[in-house]
Structure 1
Amino acid sequence: MGPSASTAISTPHTGGLRHSLAEDVYAFLIGCSLIVMGILCLHKAGLVTGGMAGIALLLSYVLPLSPGLLFTLINIPFLAFALKAMSPNFAVRTMIASMGVTAFGGLMPRVITVSEINPLFSALFAGTIIGLGILCLARHQAGVGGTGIVTLWLQKSRGINAGRVQIAIDVVILTVSAFFLPKDKIVLSLVSAVSTSGILIVYHRPGRYIGH
């Protein structure tokens, strides 16, 4: 693989630009909480998101398992792939991030209740903050698992933009979702997925920012 993805992803910073442990912890808290908050908004609006959450939701329609359990089970082979293809450091950080999303998913509904939200606003706002959460984790050498691992690996090893790959994956997920949701929900779910990937397309470009 030449300069491997593990090398690329384990050395994104140089010298004094390396993040401290406290900065990593802070970024993980922000990233995981933004992702969960976005999911809560989408759920309240009755929309579907892309990525691992979308896959888990789809499988829950045909399997007698909860989306949360499916999310965890599906993540296992992706984490194994990250350990082999990217780096142990990235795999461990991604596992921690996945656990963080699960933990915040249980905590967030206890501290905040979304009683009503406009579906279009939910699609734009939730999609955007989920993208920011993913970006926050990516800048600290972590993903949320699943398809996010594949998109980051392709960007690091092949130079293929993570946001564009995620859009392609989400289109497939949402196309399948059309068999289970009304058309208006599918359209708004697509808006949400594009909002998420748009953040990665614009802001997750190695070399554009100091400390990329």
Structure 2
Amino acid sequence: MWSVDPAKHSPIEDVQGIVTGSIVSALGFYILNKVGLLTGGTAGVAFLIHYAFGISFGLLFFLVNLPFYYLSFRRLGLAFSVKTFISIGLVSVLTELESRWMVIDSVNPLWAAILGGLLLGYGLLALYRHRASLGGIGILAIYMQDRFGIRAGLIQLAFDTCVMIAAFAVIEPKTVLYSIVGAFFLNMFLAINHRSDRYIVVR
């Protein structure tokens, strides 16, 4: 039932890690969405389209990640791809259901940015440690690094920068700045708490 190898997880441990990570991540997205903030990666793209056209964030988050599953399978294997697909599906559904289960009347945007970023950090950390992720640009970045020698971190940074720049056309500048604060807390949390020599890192 429980793995005796600290570097590996049993199926039950994977289930609880993926479900827990998805729940915490969905809560982070819900808080960001409540005050009109966004984050980087494919979630940022989903947020932009959601704010611009009013389409469901959960549906957009699921659809935006679809093109990356082939690269995930080629680069990171079937098990990782299946776990990531399940994680994204859970987060997509939960972000739509949370507004029915919980109502936040008011929250300070700066606090929402910090709290949302940290919750996403906790959620992603749980997923990373069970060989899963929330898909997206990180997969493409690893592929581009292998194919063209461009550092994956630079590709991720460039994409997230483009998302934040595009956000100025959709939301208020102050809201974009709050979103950058949230992204900073998210990435700093992962940088401090995640060991890339032990776990697969893809965001």
Tell me, yes or no, whether TM beats 0.5. Answer: yes
- Any residues of structure 2 matched to 1:105-124 within 5 Å, and which? 105-124=95-114
Matched, 1:25 2:15: yes
SS at match of 1:16: coil
Change (3 A) 1:166 1:33: farther
In structure 2, C-alpha distance between the alignment counterparts of 1:65 and 1:155, rounded to whole Å: 33
**Larger mean Cα displacement after TM superposition, 23-32 or 54-63:** 54-63
Is contact 2:38–2:48 with CA below 8 Å preserved after alignment?
A: no
Q: CA deviation at 1:39?
A: 1.1
C-alpha deviations, 1:8-45, integer Å up to 9, x for none? xxxxxx97222111211111121111111111111122
- The AA in structure 2 aligned to 1:104 is L
Taking the aligned partners of 1:43 and 1:101, their CA distance within structure 2 comes to: 13
Q: TM-score, normalised by structure 1?
A: 0.78
Listed one character per residue, the Cα deviations across residues 184-211 of structure 1 (whole Å, up to 9, x for unaligned) are: 10110100111111122222223479xx
CA contact (8 A) 1:143 1:149 kept: no
CA 188–61 in structure 1, closer or farther in 2 if over 3 Å, else same: closer
- Letter of the structure 2 residue corresponding to residue 96 of structure 1: I
1:34 is matched with 24
User: For the Cα contact (< 8 Å) 2:40–2:164, is it kept in 1?
Assistant: yes
1:16 aligns with 2:5: yes
Q: Structure 2: state its 5+ residue gaps.
A: none
1:174 matches 2:188: no
Q: Give 1:168 deviation, angstroms.
A: 4.1
Q: 2:188 aligns with which of 198, 202, 205?
A: 198
Alpha-carbon separation, structure 2, partners of 1:193 and 1:43: 14
Pick closer, same or farther for the CA change 1:77–1:85 going to 2, 3 Å. Answer: same
RMSD: 2.9
Aligned residues: percent identity? Answer: 32
Tell me, yes or no, if the aligned pair for 1:123 and 1:189 is still in contact at 8 Å.
yes
Secondary structure of the 2:196 match is: coil
Match status 1:73 vs 2:63: yes
Q: Which residue of 1 aligns with 2:35?
A: 45
Q: Supply the AA of the counterpart residue of 2:68.
A: F
- TM superposition score normalised by structure 2: 0.82
TM-superposed CA distance for 1:152, in Å, is 6.8
- Of the three residues 136, 139, 154, the one matched with 1:149 is 139
Pairing 1:89–2:85 present: no
Whether 1:99 aligns to 2:89 is yes
Letter in 1 for 2:105: S
In the aligned structure 1, how far is the partner of 2:196 from the partner of 2:131?
A: 12
Aligned residues: 194
Matches within 5 A, 1:177-188: 177-188=167-178
Equivalence for 1:128: 118
Q: Which moves more between the two structures, 195-204 or 180-189?
A: 195-204
Q: Deviations over 1:76-125 (max 9, x none)?
A: 11011101111111111101111111222233223221111111111111
Quote the Cα distance in structure 2 between the aligned partners of 1:35 and 1:144.
9
